[in-house]
């Protein structure tokens, strides 16, 4: 699973979805989906704009968290 830390970054900077949309040129819906962690995909351009706006690295915005794999009888 991919964890998105946009809400934390926005909280730290005390900005709203509208502020981020205005500053980055990204659609409000894109930002909202990432904020609520319901997005299923993100364009590299959007990721780049968010990293530039928050002056962060990709790994500050997203984190890969491995999901537990159920054990089988052969394990």
Q: Is 55 within a domain?
A: yes
Compare 51 and 75 and report the one with higher pLDDT: 51
Q: Is 74 within a domain?
A: no
Whether 63 has a pLDDT exceeding 80, the answer reads yes
Structural domain for 57, as ranges:
2-64
pLDDT of residue 69: 78
Q: Is 72 within a domain?
A: no
Q: Is 49 within a domain?
A: yes
Q: Is 54 within a domain?
A: yes
pLDDT of residue 24: 98
pTM for the predicted model, two decimal places: 0.86
In this structure, are residues 34 and 59 in contact, taking their beta carbons and an 8 Å threshold? no
Q: Is 27 within a domain?
A: yes
| CATH number, domain containing residue 43 | 1.10.260.40
Q: Measuring CA to CA, how many Å separate 43 from each of 14, 20, 29, 54, 57?
A: 24, 16, 13, 17, 16
Condensed to tens digits (0 to 9), the pLDDT of residues 34-54 reads 999 999 999 999 999 999 999
Structural domains of the chain, count: 1
């Amino acid at each position: 699973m991919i964890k998105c830390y946009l809400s934390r970054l926005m909280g730290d900077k005390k900005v709203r979805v509208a502020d981020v949309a205005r500053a980055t040129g990204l659609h409000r819906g894109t930002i909202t989906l990432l904020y609520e962690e319901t997005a299923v995909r993100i364009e590299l351009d959007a990721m780049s704009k968010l990293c530039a706006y928050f002056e962060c690295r990709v790994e500050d915005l997203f984190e890969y968290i491995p999901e537990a794999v159920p054990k089988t009888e052969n394990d």
